[in-house]
Chains A and B, each alone.
Chain A
């Protein structure tokens, strides 16, 4: 191929996010343009993506603190009540030899959300500093955050199932704790944060030096 590298933005084209149709950007038009085929609103880049992603990442970090400090579950067994946080649940499994399950919860509830938040922060800073370092690898990092986020929901589902199954009053019952609400908020906020980040911004910084 002898094509030069040209982006839709260079050509003055708006790419529809849901149906991929290319539409010419109307110069000077203040009204929002809509895709003629599917009706979604069109933008050159996701609007205010850096500010929005930062806001969501910071909100997720704030919710992550009570999510870890407050109990996820309160287990009543023969009249005794024991409250478990995410970390105490993991330690319980590791000590009782159920290490595969402990590992699953450790990955889903601690490793995945933190990895995702730190990758997003790195991507945000690198875009703001107009970094030209390894755009391909940074785009891959973005794909990782998009793919792994949903798996953090595991613990929320575990709590739901435990609450539904174990309800024999004082003999044995499990209640969801306040920590579970904050943890659910962390998962939702990080998924939205990954959706508002625009990976095309990583490549926009490259084009100023590309010999087109």
Chain B
């Protein structure tokens, strides 16, 4: 029988590696055959992720409560928030797109932020949250479906597209969006998944 607890297999080429000894400082270990990232270890990962998650939740509330663009034309004006855009599509009968947009820009990012809070706040207080393993696994599988940064490019394209047609005023939510994207990316980069997995009890 092979002792497996100090081994890790590359997710992209299956090569076995010894888990590098944690040296304290943040570092990235890579597969020596295909150069894929084996693991990213981060110093003070729990503190950093928790701080960025709290900042992210506040920005999320601001970004979704205020209009991000105001459209003025011949004395009439319309404003849009993320939710009103989705509702507009739904009212037109394009529920498929409405669903796709609301999932990738509201439901998935919010779920991820709430999961991070649910896991990292108890860990910070030296407690293990209930059902930590399946909940953390869910956050990982949601990762490809969080597309806030793509949405920001969409806002910029729409803004330029309408500039010739009418007066467009960017709102406070637009800046919150930009900050939220930076915060989400920073939170993802500072998450050290092994810190969470090492605390899960399981039959060996």
Please report A residues at the B interface, Cβ cutoff 8 Å: 1, 5-9, 11, 13, 15, 17-24, 36-40, 77, 93, 96, 98, 101, 104-105, 108, 135-136, 139, 142-143, 150-151, 153-168, 171-172, 175-176, 180-181, 184-185, 188, 191, 195, 199-200, 202-204
Contacts and interface: CB of A to CB of B under 8 A. Distances in A.
Contacts of B16: 6-8, 11, 13
A154 B78 contact: no
Contact of B11 (A15, A159, A163, A165): A15
Interface in B153-188: 153-155, 157-158, 160-162, 164-166
Listed from nearest, the 7 A-B pairs whose CB atoms lie closest are A157-B154, A164-B85, A8-B9, A15-B9, A164-B80, A161-B158, A7-B14
24 contacts: A1-B32, A7-B9, A7-B16, A19-B137, A19-B200, A36-B204, A37-B200, A101-B161, A105-B157, A108-B153, A136-B34, A142-B12, A156-B154, A157-B105, A157-B153, A160-B101, A162-B158, A163-B88, A163-B89, A164-B78, A165-B80, A165-B158, A171-B73, A176-B94
B74 A139 contact: no
Contacts of B162: 162, 165-166
A36 B201 CA distance: 9
Contacts, number: 206
Nearest to A192: B144
B197 A20 contact: yes
B137 A150 contact: no
A139 B84 CA distance: 41
Determine which residue in A162, A181, A188 has the highest number of CB atoms from chain B within 10 A of its CB, and name it. Answer: A162
Contacts of B150: 150-151, 153-154, 157
Given A15-B14, A39-B137, A203-B34, 20 more contacts: A6-B15, A9-B14, A13-B7, A21-B4, A23-B4, A37-B197, A93-B161, A98-B161, A104-B157, A143-B12, A154-B150, A157-B151, A159-B97, A160-B97, A160-B154, A166-B165, A171-B73, A180-B94, A195-B144, A199-B12
Contacts of B197: 19-21, 37-38
B85 A184 contact: no
A22 B9 contact: yes
A200 B145 CA distance: 23
Interface string B118-156: 000000000000000110110011001101001101110
A9 to B, nearest CB: 6
Contacts of A24: 1-2, 4
